[in-house]
Amino acid sequence: MYSVLDKDMIEMEIVPFIPRTKRGFPPTVPLGEIVNAILYKLKTGVQWNQLPVRALFSGRALSWQSVYHHYRKWCLSGTWKDCWTKFMSRHRAELDLSSVDLDGSHTPAIRGGHSVEYQGRKKRKTTNALYLTDRQGLPLAMSEPVAGNHNDLYDIEVQFEVVTGTLEQADITVEGLFLNADAGFDSKDFRSSCANKEINANVCFNKRNGNTDRDEYFDKELYDQRYAVERTNAWMDSFRSLLNRFDTTVESWKGFNYLAFIVIALKKFNRKKKKKV
């Protein structure tokens, strides 16, 4: 049976936080195997109706429609984000919050859908979202996806509240964080949002804003470590369902993102444990 994550990891880190149904019939197969089938879709990007369900289930196989039904149900209930925030809370000691990086990402949206619009720079329809990573490059949070014709500063106060709110839900204090961001975030609104949360904004000065000889804090050595977020983008692109967006609904798109966060973190932590041994 093909697996993206070790069976024990799925059972320990994801399954306990999936709510059990109170109405109707319970799943006829182990929840861990349903999650594994969803992870297969995430990793390979295969169409739902092409899921190799017979290879993904050890006993009786669910239909691809049933797998999609469970995934969609958990997306709408916010299960995947809840799994991620609880995961961060449990593994707080393994995160490196000496500084964090914020960056925006435009994802091609092949089939259109919610929060999708033509983006001139990419010359195609895209979805834009902000991603926050720790010093190791592990993804921590994402904003709400917005139509791709907007830049990273669009509705920044609201979107930054979503990003920091994810950390706060995981009982991670944002006060005192050092945050790296490129010149695209050099604005009074963004700096004010950081100051309101007592976050140290290490934002590269944007020459388009005029004189770069300003009083705002900027640490060049710390900013040079921002390469980690670019590595994160490569990790995220390794999941074929995220490289291009085929999901027409925002909930499904966010669900795959949070699942990718969990997979990346678990593999990173597992490699660290093996090195220590």
Predicted local distance difference test score (pLDDT) of residue 227: 87
Predicted local distance difference test score (pLDDT) of residue 48: 96
| 225 shares a domain with 185 | yes
- Whether residue 114 is contained in a domain is answered as yes
| 104 shares a domain with 40 | no
Determine how many CB atoms are found less than 10 A away from the CB of residue 21: 11
| 122 shares a domain with 241 | yes
Query: CA 195 → CA 119, 155, 173, 228, distances in Å?
Result: 31, 17, 14, 24
- Whether residue 83 is contained in a domain is answered as no
Q: How many domains does the chain fold into?
A: 2
Q: Kindly tell me if the per-residue pLDDT of 259 is higher than 60.
A: yes
Average pLDDT over residues 152-163: 95
By C-alpha distance, which of 160, 213, 164 is closest to 189? Answer: 160
| 66 shares a domain with 109 | no
Q: For 212-241, what is each residue's pLDDT tens digit?
A: 667 888 999 999 999 889 899 999 999 999
Residue found under tokens 């469970």: 70
Average pLDDT over residues 143-172: 95
Confidence of residue 271 (pLDDT cuts 50, 70, 90): confident
| 72 CB burial (10 A radius; 0-12, 13-18, 19+) | middle
Of residues 27 and 248, more confidently modeled: 248
Q: Kindly tell me if the per-residue pLDDT of 276 is higher than 70.
A: no
Q: Kindly tell me if the per-residue pLDDT of 94 is higher than 70.
A: yes
Predicted local distance difference test score (pLDDT) of residue 3: 74
Question: Residue 171: which domain range?
Answer: 96-246
| 103 shares a domain with 236 | yes
